[in-house]
């Protein structure tokens, strides 16, 4: 029984520390505690719909889209077309990237190329809806140059990560 408690404490140490801090904050500064809980709840509600949507999308693709289709569109067979598609889709995606990690894992399990997934995540740094606003503040040359470099870096980083992932698998084998 004692091992269960120790295992529980080790597994949930961060959550326990946060809970203790929250209790101390409630005791010493209830107004700040209420504000913190209110902000946390609002953030949770805002992310809930995104998480739910991504979970639905992941399940849908997992059950409906055949593995061969994924391999053809964003797998090794896709070549540069798949990489460019990943980069373009990455620039159009919104929301926190970590919410999409289960989706990306499912894509990899279905045969997506690591390069395409990394390129998509890296190209996420380009926020297409913000480009007009950025241009008004920073100028056309700067914004276009910066986004071009980020786009190129996204593709380049995909190759680098894929190289290391493939070689680390070969070393384990």
Q: Is 173 helix (H, G, I), strand (E, B) or coil?
A: coil
Residue 60 Cα to chain centre, angstroms: 19
Write the pLDDT tens digit of every residue in 5-59: 888 888 889 999 988 988 898 899 989 888 988 998 898 888 888 888 888 988 8
Q: Across residues 159-170, what is the average pLDDT?
A: 90
**DSSP code for 96:** -
User: Rounded to whole angstroms, how far apart are CA atoms 148 and 25?
Assistant: 46
DSSP state of 76: G
What are 67-90's pLDDT values in tens digits?
Answer: 999 999 999 989 999 999 999 999
Write down the pLDDT at residue 173. Answer: 64
pTM over 0.85: no
Instruction: Tell me how far CA of residue 34 lies from CA of 15, 26, 48, 65, 130, in angstroms.
Output: 18, 8, 21, 45, 33
| % of the chain beyond a pLDDT of 90 | 51
């Amino acid at each position: 029984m004692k091992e269960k408690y120790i295992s529980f404490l080790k597994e949930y140490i961060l959550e326990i520390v946060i809970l203790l801090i929250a209790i101390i904050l409630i005791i010493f500064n209830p107004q700040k505690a209420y504000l913190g809980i209110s902000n946390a709840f609002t953030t949770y509600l805002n992310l809930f719909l995104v998480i739910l949507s991504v979970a639905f999308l992941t399940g849908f693709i997992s059950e409906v889209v055949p593995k061969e289709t994924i391999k053809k569109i964003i797998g090794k067979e896709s070549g540069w077309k798949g990489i460019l598609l990943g980069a373009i889709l990455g620039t159009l995606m919104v929301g926190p990237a970590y919410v999409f990690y289960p989706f990306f894992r499912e894509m990899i399990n279905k045969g997506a190329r690591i390069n395409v997934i990394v390129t998509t995540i890296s190209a996420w740094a380009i926020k297409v809806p913000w480009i007009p606003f950025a241009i008004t503040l920073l100028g056309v040359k700067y914004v276009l140059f910066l986004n071009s470099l980020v786009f190129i870096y996204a593709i380049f980083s995909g190759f680098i990560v894929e190289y290391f992932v493939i070689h680390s698998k070969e070393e384990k084998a």
